[in-house]
Structure 1
C-alpha cells in the first residue's frame, strides 16, 4: 500500500464490497483513523453497486476530511459504484476496468433489485394497457406491481442522477475552465448541462440493455467524452496496484469475506 500511496501522493482507502447499509459507518471509522493526513485521498473501489443513499453518506464523510479525492477502479464499479466514482476530482482506470449504467438498487425481500428494470417494465405494460394489447398474464403482472415501491424506484433513479450531476459539475469539472475548440470560458451552467448529458446517457437503459453492462474506459472517453486517466500512465502505480489488489482479493476469498475496507491504519 505504501507504494500506491506514494504513486498517488494520497491517503488510500480501499473498498471492495457491495454498497449496503452500514458500509458508510466502516468508511467513517477508517477515514477518521488516519493520523498524519495527506491533502488528497484516493479510493480504490470494486463494487457491483448497491444503495445510492449509502454512497451519498460516504461522499459526505470523505469530503469532510479531504478537498481532493481520486478514484481508482482496477476492475469494476457498477451502478451506485459509478455514481460514487463520479464524485472524484480524477478517475483512474486501466483498459480492462469498467463502470456501469446508473441503475440504482432497492432492497426488496432481502435482495437488491435494479430500480430501472421495474420502472421500464411498468412503463411497457402501461403502454400495452393503453393500446388494448395487454394479455392475461401481463394484466396479472401489472396488478402485482406495488405503486409505493414504484415511487421508491423513481426516487432512487432521480437521486442517482441528481447526485451525479451535482458531483460532476462541482469536482470532476472544477478545472474545466475553457472550451477546447473555441477557448471560450466555461460557465457554471455549461458544466451543469454537460453533467446532465452524462447522467442521462448513463441512465438510458435502452442504450446499455443490461444492468450489468460493462462500460469501458474507451467508451467513457470516446462516446461520453469524459476524461479518464490511465492507471498505467502514473509511474509505479500499475504493478503495485495489481499486486496489492490480487493479494487482498485472495485473502478475502480464503477468509470468505464479502466486505473489505482497508487503509494503512484500518484493517
Structure 2
C-alpha cells in the first residue's frame, strides 16, 4: 500500500540545510499496523507528514496504492485540535460538510463513528467538556469520517495518563480490526509499539534511517495476557536495546 524509494527530506535552517530523513526504502502492506520508534528528531513525524502530503520530499518517491478514489489518509496529531465552538458531532462531521456530503448521509456516518470510538452520549458536548482521552477519541473519529484507507497517528496518546493510554490502546486495536485500515503510529513508548503493532520500524538518530524492522507475531485479540507473554517481553527488551544503541 505504501512504498518509499530513496525518500529524503532536508530543511533549510539559518542559511544551511539539515538532512532530517536519509534515503528510506520501505514497503508497508495493506492492513498493517506499523509502530514507528526512534530518538527525538530522527524524522518519525516528518515521515508521516511526507506520506500525508503536508511536506514535500527533497528526494525520492512515495507511492500510495490504496485502490480507492477516497482521500488517501487521515491524520491524528498529538493535540486533538478540535474546533472549540463545535460539538463532538459537528467536529466529526466537519470534513464531510466541507466535502459536500448530504446531511442525512453525514449524520449516519457520524453516528456510526461516535459508536465506534465510544463517545455515545457525548455527541453534543463541546471539547472543553471532555477529558483528554475523549478529545482524542473525537479526533480519531474525525480522521476516519471520510473513510481514508490510511490512518496516520503522531503520538496521539502522549498527553494522557497511563490508565487512559492503555484504554485507548485497546480501543485503537479494536478500531483497527473492525475497519481494516492501514495504521502508522509514531510513539516514544516501546511497550506501546510492541503491544499495538503488527510491524515495528526502528529509526536511527538524525538523519533518520530505517535501522531495523520487526514483524510482530503476538496473537490477537491482545490484552492483559499479551503483556504477560514472554514473546512480548522479549520484543520490548530488543526494542529497548535498539533504542539504547541509537543514543
Structure 1 and Structure 2 fold alike (TM over 0.5): no
* TM, length-normalised to structure 2: 0.34
Larger Rg, first or second structure (1 or 2): 1
Counting helix residues as a fraction of each chain, which structure ranks higher? 1
